[in-house]
């Protein structure tokens, strides 16, 4: 479990983080979302003991984040920074073996751990590759393999999918979900917002050092909207009539027409979707699809960041 309690850090005139409090239960994934400079890396550096907070406190699996607990924290937390050094002249195996030794994993156990880390990150094929020759996606996977070598219970991953193409992002997401299935507690930051929506149990949206929203994605979405929006796809010849019917219905507002789609909104508490659909069908409108518009993480983020 990761617990932050009124954590603050400022850099002179710089912002850092301001009064952050949140809890990530054991075995869950939290997605940490924010623009560049929002305060994600600062949070991570404080949690991993690389930087001291000005005030507030934090605990990871019951261990207080304090300089005197640094050794215990290192055994509990694996941190993958957004930019990490790779030792270009080594092969992947040498690289992992080097870090395994640095983590003081006994030589006998090291081989087994490296094989396991390579298998979890689907990097077995790369063992003999020179680190210098790896693509960005491969490097990220090797970086993650290195992070999980000492088998930490908690993982803090700064932009693990940063700069990856869509296929590599999907693979990274699958690897992270597998780590969760092994019982790890994970915080990861990302700018790839839709990816986070699918995999995270909790989402935190940070803006200018302050947590603007934290919780389950559905709950954040719910709290952000005071209206419901429906998207209706109709036959192209029925667009005009659909618009006309909708504008004659009470409670319907914000009607918009785009290509083959018409959207409209109503108050959050009003349940008029079924009524509108029945009305359109009774009037021979050829409805291809009729659905409630889910607020995308991206849209939500833009709303909060615009504050």
Ligand X SMILES: Nc1ncnc2c1ncn2[C@@H]1O[C@H](COP(=O)(O)OP(=O)(O)OP(=O)(O)O)[C@@H](O)[C@H]1O
Interface residue list for ligand X (CB under 6 A): 11, 14-16, 34, 36-42, 82
Closest approach of ligand X to the CB of residue 15, in Å: 5
Closest approach of ligand X to the CB of residue 37, in Å: 4
Closest approach of ligand X to the CB of residue 195, in Å: 15
Closest approach of ligand X to the CB of residue 296, in Å: 20
**Residue 5 forms beta bridges with which residues?**
57
Query: Tokens for 170?
Result: 């999907």
In the bound state with ligand X, the residue whose beta carbon lies nearer, of 37 and 163, is: 37
Closest approach of ligand X to the CB of residue 286, in Å: 47
Query: Tokens for 257?
Result: 């027409």
Closest approach of ligand X to the CB of residue 222, in Å: 26
In the bound state with ligand X, the residue whose beta carbon lies nearer, of 121 and 190, is: 190
**For residue 52, which phi and psi values (nearest 5 degrees)?**
-90, 145
99 in Cβ contact with 74 (< 8 Å): no
Q: Which spans in the chain are helix H? A: 40-47, 70-76, 92-102, 107-120, 136-148, 166-181, 193-199, 217-224, 239-247, 273-282, 297-305
In the bound state with ligand X, the residue whose beta carbon lies nearer, of 14 and 25, is: 14
43 in Cβ contact with 7 (< 8 Å): yes
86 in Cβ contact with 95 (< 8 Å): yes
Closest approach of ligand X to the CB of residue 36, in Å: 3
Query: Tokens for 187?
Result: 């915080």
Angle at 66 between CA 156 and CA 99, to 5 degrees: 45
145 in Cβ contact with 164 (< 8 Å): no
In the bound state with ligand X, the residue whose beta carbon lies nearer, of 72 and 191, is: 191
In the bound state with ligand X, the residue whose beta carbon lies nearer, of 13 and 167, is: 13
In the bound state with ligand X, the residue whose beta carbon lies nearer, of 17 and 149, is: 17
- Distances 120 to 67, 73, 146, 177 between C-alpha atoms, Å: 32, 23, 11, 11
In the bound state with ligand X, the residue whose beta carbon lies nearer, of 150 and 204, is: 204
């Amino acid at each position: 479990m990761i617990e932050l309690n009124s954590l603050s850090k400022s850099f002179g005139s710089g912002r850092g983080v301001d009064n952050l409090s949140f809890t990530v239960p054991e075995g869950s994934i939290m997605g940490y979302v924010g623009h560049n400079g929002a305060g994600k890396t600062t949070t991570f550096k404080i949690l991993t003991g690389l930087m001291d907070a000005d005030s507030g406190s934090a605990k990871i699996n019951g261990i207080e984040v304090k300089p005197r607990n640094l050794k215990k924290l290192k055994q509990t937390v694996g941190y993958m920074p957004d930019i990490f050094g790779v030792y270009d002249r080594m092969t992947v195996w040498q690289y992992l073996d080097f870090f395994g030794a640095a983590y003081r994993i006994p030589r006998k156990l090291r081989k087994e751990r490296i094989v396991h880390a390579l298998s979890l990150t689907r990097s077995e094929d790369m063992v003999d590759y020179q680190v210098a020759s790896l693509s960005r996606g491969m490097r990220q996977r090797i970086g993650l393999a290195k992070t999980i070598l000492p088998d930490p219970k908690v993982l803090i991953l700064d932009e693990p999918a940063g700069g990856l193409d869509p296929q590599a992002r999907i693979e990274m997401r699958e690897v992270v979900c597998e780590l969760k299935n092994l019982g790890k507690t994970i915080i990861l930051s990302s700018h790839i917002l839709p990816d986070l929506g699918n995999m995270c149990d909790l989402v935190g949206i940070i803006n200018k050092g302050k947590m603007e929203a934290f919780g389950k994605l559905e709950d954040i979405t719910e709290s952000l909207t005071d209206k419901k929006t429906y998207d209706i796809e109709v036959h192209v010849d029925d667009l005009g009539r659909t618009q006309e019917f909708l504008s004659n219905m009470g409670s319907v507002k914000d009607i918009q027409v785009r290509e083959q789609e018409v959207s409209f909104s109503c108050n959050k508490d009003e349940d008029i979707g079924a009524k509108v659909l029945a009305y359109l069908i009774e009037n021979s409108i050829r409805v291809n699809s009729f659905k409630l518009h889910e607020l995308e993480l991206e849209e939500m983020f833009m709303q909060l960041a615009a504050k």
